[in-house]
Amino acid sequence: MHQLDILDYRLHDPPSFRWFTGATTNLGANAVDISAQKYPGHCAVVAITESGEVRSFTYAQVSWEVKKLAASFRAVGIKSGDQVALYMPTGPEAIFSMLALSRIGAIHLVVFAGFGAAALSQRIRLAGAEVLIASDITFRKGKVIPLDSIVAEALADPQSPLKTVIWHKRSPRPVAPFAGRTILWPELPDLAQGHSADPVWLESNTPAFILATSGTTASPKLVVHTHGPY
């Protein structure tokens, strides 16, 4: 039987920790599949907008949405180890995207939808993200806040590594032009046809997502969280 190391604390390489070394897991799959099997009809997500719109999803529905996105992202060309930035307000689409990216082994970086173009482009560069998933608007204190113009300014960065932008449109406004590949959210289900939604089982300490520090006093630091420890 393989001896599993629960915690590997590297005294000579602080603050590096490794948990469950040699084990395999997947954060996105574990967060969804077990509950979808045990409690498929139970409510998992309730989303309420400032306008009063309410959407709810059971665990089974969350599983369906996540798997559909996982297959779609594979069709777009996102693979295990790729970095993907998200610039979206808090909502079901953002949640499902993060879970789906983890499911296929991609590493996601969430950029707060209140940040401006400079902060967005800087974090994209630091992470080396080649794909951006963005919403065109958000709502704040009863007002519609355009995000597409901020994204357009970030896309103009000549050092940007972005090759693909996936637009989650919430308004009829046209999206910002982009020299690379542009995909609209409604196109994703058709792209998913024929592509697997199976999870990628990864060594426990494989990176799952990145959180950037605020950058208030210096350049943002990228904090990497891994599948098993998280």
| Residue-range domains of the chain with CATH | 13-226 (3.40.50.12780)
DSSP per position, 84-141:
EEEE--SSHHHHHHHHHHHHTT-EEEE--TTS-HHHHHHHHHHHT-SEEEEESEEEET
Residue 36 identity (one-letter amino acid): A
Tokens of residue 102, six digits: 């983890």
Give CA separation, 94 vs 47, 85, 161, 171, 202, in Å: 11, 11, 22, 17, 23
Cα–Cα distance between 31 and 86 in angstroms, integer?
19
User: How many other β-carbons are positioned within 10 Å of the β-carbon of residue 51?
Assistant: 7
Q: What is the DSSP string of 25-70?
A: E-HHHHHHHHHHHH-TTSEEEEEE-TT--EEEEEHHHHHHHHHHHH
Q: Of the candidates 177, 168, 159, 152, which has an alpha carbon nearest to the alpha carbon of residue 122?
A: 159
Q: What pLDDT does residue 54 have?
A: 95
Q: What is the pLDDT along the chain (230 residues), one digit of tens a residue?
A: 345 678 887 666 767 778 898 899 999 999 999 999 999 999 999 999 878 889 999 999 999 999 999 999 999 999 999 999 999 999 999 999 999 999 999 999 999 999 999 999 999 999 999 999 999 999 888 888 999 999 999 999 999 999 999 999 999 988 878 889 999 999 999 999 999 999 999 999 999 999 998 777 778 889 999 999 88
Taking the model in full, what pTM does it have?
0.92
Determine phi and psi for 176, rounding to 5 degrees: -65, 140
- Is the four-CA dihedral 140, 142, 97, 136 of positive or negative sign? negative
String of b and e for 6-41 (b: at least 16 CB within 10 Å)? Answer: eeeeeeeeeeeebbbeebebbbbbebbbebbeeeee
Q: Residue written as tokens 């939604």?
A: 197
